[in-house]
Amino acid sequence: MKESQKKAITGIKILLNHKNEHTLMSNNKLKIFVTSKNNSSKRISISTIEELSKDRGNTKSKITIEPKNQRQEILGFGGSFTESSSSIYKELDENKKEEIIESYFGENGNKYSMARTHINSCDFSLGNYAHVEDKNDLELKTFSLERNKISLIPMINDALKKRKNNIRIMASPWSPPAWMKTTGEMNFGGKLKSEYRDTWANYYCKFIESCEKENVPIWGLSIQNEPEAKQTWDSCLYTAEEERDFIKNHLGPSLEKHNLLDRKVIIWDHNRDVMVERARTVLSDPDAAKYVWGTGFHWYCGDHFDNVQNVHDEFPDKQLIFTEGCQEGGPHIGSWDLGERYATSIINDLNRWTVAWIDWNLILNERGGPNHVGNYCSAPIIVDTRSQDLLYQSSYYYIGHFSRFILPGDKIINSENTNNTIDVLSSINNQNTVNTVIQNKNESNVEVSYNRDNVNSVFTIPERSIVTVVDNIS
């Protein structure tokens, strides 16, 4: 790694043996945790009101928190187990493995409770593969997870052990086996052949059952990762009508036959831009909708946050879940924009009824891979495979400002903000603790007046910073 890159991430490494500061809350006092671009000592670090009041900003905002105005219950935050991530993990020494698992899933880390993994290969695999390669095996007798047992399942099992099995894992296919497709290959799109629809539906069930034999419980599944994207990597195309009909005529009945109707079925699993149209086509059909838990979405085609709200408004009895996002085009080591992109998405998505938020790869190497078609991306933790150094990106800490405080079972509450140059999200837990995340992406400080019932406090959010305010009502 270049010396300039090393300097860029100086101070962005977490010390996991530090005392877990957010267990130190005292009643009736605000505790404020800060991560700041221009202060490398501030990484989800506690700061006093006095410290945050030294340099008042010219920009002001009044934030009003409404604890009684409660909305959706949160399932949690998480990241994705891919063959690429697990292949890196497999080669690390035991201390580094433990650090990664603790950093993401531990009580001193980001407390992840959600995850995603792939059925068959994805672009972040070491190559194309399927769990059934025999085109004549319509009964799936040769279904095998042997490829996953090399590194993927062991990594998942380590995380499950850390969380005492309390991780909701969803599974998504990027492509059916090549022999089931119109193109005869897993890459470059193509469609599922009609004669294999029942076999493919049973394949999901076989995956769930096989994973459970390896002590990997599958909580939910999506029909298809990015069903409108013809990619150079593993991909398969479905129109909205095809997805609807596959659910109601094939997948739903197969889940019922295998006693798996308690697994959550997630539609779309693609960008926000046309999620309303997709949800409308599928969920307006009661024979398909009865099998569907909710709509999943990604961030790769613009923000379109209003579409998340629109899906909720049209189908309030169905859930919303963010299922993938990352910064494309390499590892972006040391970039502060990474964290801000994550926080902007999380705040806007959760303020629009999203119940869970899942990041893409947990770890990648110094190139942003491995990726079998060179589609390199960033991850919150980059592993320098030459030295085994773990490089903690701004995205790791920014996600932590949410995931360490807004825990499963907490509810999003309404917050009003008079200045749209900052972003605000508030939640409340069953101990009557209000957690409010405030992001300042500006190049100058912002003075905030925090108001909750009879509590008022004025403090400054430093430039290019994010804070979590912990406010114990009781």
- Kindly name the residue from 83, 228, 243, 324 that is annotated as catalytic: 324
- Kindly name the residue from 83, 99, 226, 243 that is annotated as catalytic: 226
Q: State how far the Cα of 156 lies from the Cα of 158, in Å rounded to an integer.
A: 5
Q: Which of 471, 468, 459, 456 is nearest to 423 (CA)?
A: 468
Whether the CA torsion 71, 74, 78, 81 is positive or negative: it is negative
> What's the token pair of residue 9?
């991430």
Q: Which of 108, 111, 105 is nearest to 23 (CA)?
A: 108
Which residues share a beta bridge with 264?
A: 220
Tell me, yes or no, if 324 is annotated catalytic: yes
Q: State how far the Cα of 270 lies from the Cα of 414, in Å rounded to an integer.
A: 27
Place of tokens 């994805």: 122
Q: State how far the Cα of 398 lies from the Cα of 99, in Å rounded to an integer.
A: 18
Q: Which of 2, 25, 24 is nearest to 433 (CA)?
A: 25
CA dihedral 252, 254, 258, 259 (to 10 degrees): 20
Backbone angles phi and psi of 273, in degrees to 5: -60, -40
Tell me, yes or no, if 463 is annotated catalytic: no
Q: State how far the Cα of 347 lies from the Cα of 360, in Å rounded to an integer.
A: 18
Cis peptide before 370 (omega within 30 of 0): yes
Backbone angles phi and psi of 204, in degrees to 5: -60, -45
Catalytic residues: 226, 324
